[in-house]
Amino acid sequence: MGHDQKYIDKKNYEVVGTRFNRPDGIDKVTGKARYGADASAPGQLVGRVLRSPHAHASIVKINVSKAEKLPGVKAIITSADLPDLTGQDQGLADILENCMARGRALYDGHAVAAVAAVDEQTAAKALKLIDVKYKKLPHVTDVDAAMCESAPVIHDRIITRGIEPKPTKPSNIAARTQMGHGDVEAGFAEADVVIEKSYKTEQTHQGYIEPHACLASVNPDGTAELWVTTQGHFVFRNVCASLLGLDIAKLKVTSSEIGGGFGGKTHVWVEPVALALSRKANRPVKLVMGRDEVFRATGPTSSTSIDVKMGAKKDGTITAAVAEMRYQGGAFPGNWAMLGCMTAFACYDIKNNESIGWDVVVNRPKVAAYRAPSAPMAAFAVESTIDELAKEIGMAPIDMRLKNVAREGTLAPYGPTYGPIGIEHTLKAVKDHPHMRAKLKKNQGRGVACGFWFNIGGQTCTDLNIGVDGTVNLTLGTVDVGGSRSSMAMIAAEELGIPYEQVRANIADTTSLGHNDMTEGSRGTFSSGMATVFAARDAIGVLKQRAAKMWGITEEDVIWENGQAIATGDSHGNLPPLSLKEIAAKAGRTGGPIAGHNEVVADGAGMGFASHICDVEVDPETGRSTIIRYTVVQDAGKAINPDYVEGQFQGGATQGIGWALNEEYIYGDDGCLQNPGFLDYRIPVCSDLPFIDTQILEVPNPLHPYGIRGVGETSIVPPLAAVGNAIANATGVRMSHAPMSPPRVLAAIDTLEHAS
């Protein structure tokens, strides 16, 4: 369905590829835009959540009698108010248990009870009056420690998947994954040089500035509404309806403006709790998380421990590569190590490769997707090792990457054979970039690294309605997290042949449009872009019919060009064209409203590749690294609005830089998070960074009508290794533990000096 040769070769875009201001701009610069916490409802209550202060504990008893008696308290819930309706669906059961502990608190910050009260002060007081009797249990928060025989087993139900014969005893290892191709032993035997190294990366948080927030209202007849900050309100609707026992059609979910998500707003956390509170209190409940709750209880990414072994010939050919990767998914199983395996060697054509992944549970919050989830850690290990390999051989790292780069026809480590991909283009652009020739000063170093991330397609549904004045409402169901309303309006304008200003793009609530999957996996612009193209073409079909009717000719004699219907054929040569506006004005007399529609499972998502250049200066006295220049080169397939593509490149790179240099979850011996705030969990601030240069390449995705590839995620993949490689070149020390914070870099420098 997606393949349309006519548009792959389209070069003369009128609207697409230019820079338009976003339709939500004025609302966002004036304070009018309404986010998760900015809605209110008549009679609304304030919801608050009580959270476990222990890393792992049995909940012996919860006594709410004192709290219930506090004037102004309208409802208190525990897991008893969220009965398990999940049937055989263990994934859904995990979500339910994560929303509210069921007999056992599995991590510091795990929700235990919740209250709804008339105001914040009363709700806060009520939380203090809830008496929870805990019995502390042994805990484990480190991924390697959790895999040991001696580690406390968190879930008796977890028997490692992917091992033959099936283990008989439960453990913290949820799954083993293996993939790759060729004969790695033979490959290593061919190698002149073999490098083997181990790496660790610490847990980081998406760090969206807007905490999770929602406003829930449930009526006794089972109708309900939820206003929520989310990356996918249709999925939230389905999950919440399942957990609460509501009919899907009766739960109306409206997505607010979203104050950042990066994957962290693909999962429900407080939404089912707010709905359950509202159901019990029979009043609307607004529930807004505090920042400490966001850190302690919502979607961080995995911490990891990774071993990499790579071998190469003297000419730079990589003959074999093996990675063994351990990813923790928090207190519930995930598939994070599998994603690490799939991405680790994806930039290269390595004849013999093998990736083994271990998905592990620990007493930490349930891991959620974070922008190209699992790929940055794998890339840190692999891209650092490639630099070491190049050094050993005496080859420039960029040339070694080019020598082994994946191309169209390369068998990807995770199975498919690549179509046209852009990794080689990005590496060549890096090699030619003036940044690569800029002089470096003392204590400065330069690093290059590559990154890969998939795109996904998925279910998408779009409406396009033409008003009597010829203006167009484009109704989308993929939440706009990065400016997609602008991009979609541009695509609709391009197809219809009308000015951008004539199109208004809106995100519909769940009662107004068919199901749309999450805005995740870099799918928003890819899939809604595809549905918008087809919805517009559907509308053009109607416009042509109506023009034919107005002219009294057959539809076959009408074509659509530059926003107007044109009559063709010898007998109609004198008919003046009819514009979209003219046809729209007569719609009531030619058959009624003019609309286009499309529902699609958007197949054919392309792959996103990037190469980054990083210059860093390391202070040898303190170990502090400062980014002095940074360049992102990435293949966008086709950049619909280059402003927003650049914004994705710069934002992703900055998150990667934060991960590389500063950001980490720090757990104490008690298993409790010690830095649940922006002061101690330091994300990059304005004065930490230079301008982030960008270069957009366009290697069209042949399976999308406009050649679009998703661009949202890949840019976070290379920075850890780009920074690590730059530090290695500045100092001579190879950092194998991210973040490469001042104490770690200083310790490494000291060790090197002592050794020499």
| Cross-sheet strand order for the sheet of 304-312 | 173-181, 353-360, 318-328, 304-312, 193-201, 737-738
Question: How far, in Å, CA of 723 to CA of 395, rounded?
Answer: 19
Return the beta strands (E) in 652-717 as ranges. 692-697
Distance of closest approach, residue 347 Cβ to another protein, in angstroms:
23
With respect to another protein, which residue has the nearer C-beta, 19 or 66? 19
Query: From CA 524, how far away is CA 645, in angstroms rounded?
Result: 13
d(CA 88, CA 622): 54
Q: How far is the CB of 496 from another protein (least distance, A)?
A: 24
- Binding residues (CB under 8 A) for another protein: these are 19, 21-22, 24-26, 28-35, 37-38, 119-121, 206-211, 257-262, 288, 290-291, 481-483, 643-644, 646-647, 650-651, 653-655, 677-679, 683-689, 691-692
**In terms of C-beta density within 10 A (0-12 exposed, 13-18 middle, 19 or more buried), how is residue 308 classed?**
buried
Shortest Å, Cβ 118 to another protein: 9
Nearer to another protein, 312 or 657 (CB): 657
Residue 265 or 364: the one with the smaller Cβ distance to another protein is 265
What is the bridge-based pairing of β-strands 458-466 and 594-602?
antiparallel
Angle at CA of residue 244, ends 238 and 248, nearest 5°: 35
Q: Indicate the residue among 120 and 750 with the shorter CB distance to another protein.
A: 120
How many whole angstroms separate alpha carbon 594 and alpha carbon 546?
9
User: Shortest gap between Cβ of 24 and another protein (angstroms)?
Assistant: 7
Q: Which of 173, 166, 168 is nearest to 149 (CA)?
A: 173
CB-nearer residue toward another protein: 182 or 260: 260
Q: How far apart are CA 672 and CA 162, in angstroms?
A: 31
DSSP letter (8 states) at residue 524: I
CB 498, min distance to another protein, A: 22
φ and ψ of 21, to 5 deg: -70, 150
**Residue 100 or residue 633: which is nearer to another protein going by CB?**
633
Smallest gap from Cβ 42 to another protein, in A, equals 15
HEC sequence for 358-420: EEECCCCCCCCCCCCCCHHHHHHHHHHHHHHHHHHHCCCHHHHHHHCECCCCCECCCCCECCC
Nearer to another protein, 256 or 302 (CB): 256
Nearest distance in Å: CB 126, another protein: 14
Which residues does 165 contact at the CB level (< 8 Å), separation at least 6? none
**Closer to another protein by Cβ: residue 213 or 496:** 213
* CA–CA distance, 264 with 208 (Å, rounded to integer): 8
> Minimal distance in Å, beta carbon 71 to another protein?
11
Shortest separation between residue 632's beta carbon and another protein, angstroms: 9
CA distance 618 to 631: 18
66/136 with CB nearer another protein: 66
Nearest Cα neighbor of 367 from 269, 272, 288 is: 269
Our CB check for another protein shows the closer of 28 and 407 to be 28
Minimum CB distance to another protein, residue 552 (Å): 47
